[in-house]
A and B are shown apart, each in its own frame.
Chain A
Amino acid sequence: MKGSPVMFLADLTYFVDEGLKSVRRNKFISVVAVVTIGFALLIFGAFLIVYSNVNHITSGWVQQVEITAYIKDGTSSGRLDDMKKILWENPEVSKVEYVSKEEALKRLQSDHEDAVYLLGGLDENPLPASFEIKLSKAAQNREAVDHLVEKIRNISELQEVQYGQEWTRGLLTFMNILRLLGFILGGLLGVAIIFIIANTVRLTVYARRDELAVMRLIGATNGFIKGPFLMEGLLQGLLGSLFSLLLLLGIYYFWIPRLRQSAGMFFLQDMTVSFLPVSMILWIILGGMFLGFFGSLISLGRFLKI
């Protein structure tokens, strides 16, 4: 019977039952733990909202980054087709558009209709033809862009390759720093949560040490003794993460519209701030449960030995 799925299920039900009972019995300690975990995860969740929104906006910008390759005058049309083919062969490229000299002039004229007279005096079209190259999603990082530009520069018929070098680089570096900050913040908060849970479970273990002694005496295995405590940690982690999500939703629905109305936050006015994507919500919940389980595990390791 021992080790069978039925037995495992019976044990699991017992663990959940005991875990819940313990949370109920130590209401005050449990509530303090859940609230503290909730606030810790709230900080992390708020950071994730900022990060996911900034990421969403900037990835739009990076997508708009075009590489413009200007073609030397007098390049034959056969050679133009060859060049287009060479460009297409790069996996980073998602779109290549040829802009002839005439097209370029037309665009300039339509962009500056009020100053058309300035262009009227020209004897010949001074604008070069060009290729406008758009990047694929996977290539929207600094290394890929640099790599592609390097390759394009080798084509001898091109006189110049332009792209939003400086600000794309700046943007990508900024995103990397933001991500690093996220990891550091997440790590620190994770350690804090493990510490909180470890201490709460330690208090419960201490309060129930007589019961644990009896359990050992009547032949309960270590796993059976630990089960309810691990479940308690897991439950506290779960409740903490749900609490943090509730707080986040509250902030999202009540604060952001108010912030938008205040004069200082003018930049928020045209921006849509979205809530966390479902995947991140799930990660927060799973993360909370894992941290609870782990915190409980390390505090039990020190307490229980036969």
Chain B
Amino acid sequence: MIQMFDVDKQYDKNFSALKGITLRIRKGEFVFFTGPSGAGKTTLLKLIYCEERADQGQILVNGRNLSRLRNGSIPYLRRNIGVVFQDFKLIRSKTVYDNIAFVLRVVGTPKYEIKRRAWDVLRRVGLQHKMNSYPLHLSGGEQQRVAVARAVVNDPVILLADEPTGNLDAAVAAEIMDLLKEIHNRGTTIVMATHNTDMVERMNKRVIRLQSGRCISDTHPVTEMNLDEHEKEKSQVHPYLPI
């Protein structure tokens, strides 16, 4: 689903945001990017949805080679990727319903279909009763649920989340994580950047640790079925697997 090979990214000459990143995320995986602030987690996510371009190396997302992707094709790549942010990034002048309907509008969904799908996704995140409220009238947790609903209303194959629980208290954060788990169970690949190590441990998922723009470890969840594989992969720092 997502593959990177020897990816470099520099924001200026003296500062390397990412260096020699090689990784492979399979379809249906739930992966955490962790590490301290400035480790390169957000940059890594930005490279996946083409907000930033890699200076070097190759990135494949959902079968597209991003280094060869023309600017005009970026919107079409993004329609298959949902993104959730720490600060929600909802449009304040639109109601909850309009925020979600807008995504469907952009990709040319017919009107009757927009209504049905927006309602459906709001029900999934438990906010159907707030559909006519404006984002600023909602609590942080509710706003983030709207943001998640917006990210998944198009049934993207990949969901990227950049510190989605960073602004929320523990209980509300747990609700959001439950929501993400549910989305993952439906088959969506989820990549989430966070520095909340407690939560990462509780989730028991694959964790890619970053430090100063480098990948320092890649650990898979321990289950009975993949215990052997897990031991094998632990020894590999860069588990690059060719297609």
* Inter-chain contact A219/B89, CB cutoff 8 Å: no
* Inter-chain contact A215/B106, CB cutoff 8 Å: yes
For B92, what are the chain A residues with a Cβ–Cβ distance below 8 Å? 210
Q: How far is the CA of A305 from the CA of B53 in the complex (A)?
A: 14
Closest Cβ of chain B: how far from A29's Cβ, in Å? 16
* Inter-chain contact A218/B91, CB cutoff 8 Å: no
Closest Cβ of chain B: how far from A216's Cβ, in Å? 8
A155 within 8 A of B: no
For B49, what are the chain A residues with a Cβ–Cβ distance below 8 Å? 217
* Inter-chain contact A1/B78, CB cutoff 8 Å: no
When A10-B108, A14-B105, A224-B106 are in contact, do A219 and B79 touch as well, CB less than 8 Å? yes
When A219-B76, A221-B75 are in contact, do A210 and B91 touch as well, CB less than 8 Å? yes
Q: Which residue of the partner chain, among A211, A219, A305, contacts B78 with CB atoms under 8 Å?
A: A219
When A7-B108, A14-B105, A306-B71 are in contact, do A210 and B76 touch as well, CB less than 8 Å? no
* Inter-chain contact A1/B108, CB cutoff 8 Å: yes
For A118, what are the chain B residues with a Cβ–Cβ distance below 8 Å? none
Q: Which of A1-39 contact B (CB under 8 A)?
A: 1-2, 7, 10-11, 14, 25
Chain A facing B: main interface SS: helix
B176 within 8 A of A: no
For B89, what are the chain A residues with a Cβ–Cβ distance below 8 Å? 210, 213-214, 217
Q: How far is the CA of A211 from the CA of B102 in the complex (A)?
A: 11
Closest Cβ of chain B: how far from A167's Cβ, in Å? 62
B227 within 8 A of A: no
Q: How far is the CA of A25 from the CA of B93 in the complex (A)?
A: 10
B9 within 8 A of A: no
* Inter-chain contact A217/B106, CB cutoff 8 Å: no
Chain A residue total in the interface (Cβ 8 A): 22
Q: How far is the CA of A77 from the CA of B32 in the complex (A)?
A: 111
For B102, what are the chain A residues with a Cβ–Cβ distance below 8 Å? 218
Q: Which residue of the partner chain, among A11, A211, A213, A220, contacts B75 with CB atoms under 8 Å?
A: A220
For A1, what are the chain B residues with a Cβ–Cβ distance below 8 Å? 108, 110
Q: How far is the CA of A14 from the CA of B108 in the complex (A)?
A: 11
Chain A residue, CB-CB nearest to B107: A219
**Please, what's the 1-or-0 string for A157-199, where 1 marks a CB less than 8 Å from any CB in chain B?**
0000000000000000000000000000000000000000000
Q: Which of B96-123 contact A (CB under 8 A)?
A: 102-103, 105-108, 110-111
* Inter-chain contact A217/B78, CB cutoff 8 Å: yes
Chain A residue, CB-CB nearest to B105: A14
For A305, what are the chain B residues with a Cβ–Cβ distance below 8 Å? 71
For B90, what are the chain A residues with a Cβ–Cβ distance below 8 Å? 214
Q: Which residue of the partner chain, among A25, A213, A218, contacts B106 with CB atoms under 8 Å?
A: A218
For B111, what are the chain A residues with a Cβ–Cβ distance below 8 Å? 10
For A14, what are the chain B residues with a Cβ–Cβ distance below 8 Å? 105
Closest Cβ of chain A: how far from B134's Cβ, in Å? 14
* 30 pairs, CB–CB < 8 Å, chain A vs chain B: A2-B108, A7-B108, A10-B111, A11-B108, A14-B105, A25-B93, A210-B91, A210-B92, A213-B89, A214-B89, A214-B91, A216-B75, A216-B78, A217-B51, A217-B83, A217-B89, A218-B102, A218-B150, A218-B154, A219-B76, A219-B77, A219-B78, A219-B79, A219-B106, A220-B75, A222-B75, A224-B106, A305-B71, A306-B74, A306-B75
Q: What 20 new A-B contacts, CB under 8 Å, besides A214-B90, A221-B72, A306-B74?
A: A2-B108, A11-B108, A210-B89, A210-B91, A210-B92, A214-B89, A217-B51, A217-B89, A218-B78, A218-B79, A218-B102, A218-B106, A219-B76, A219-B79, A219-B106, A219-B107, A220-B75, A221-B75, A222-B72, A306-B71
Residues of B participating in the A interface, judged by any CB pair closer than 8 Å: 49, 51, 71-72, 74-79, 83, 89-93, 102-103, 105-108, 110-111, 150, 154
Residues of A participating in the B interface, judged by any CB pair closer than 8 Å: 1-2, 7, 10-11, 14, 25, 210-211, 213-222, 224, 305-306
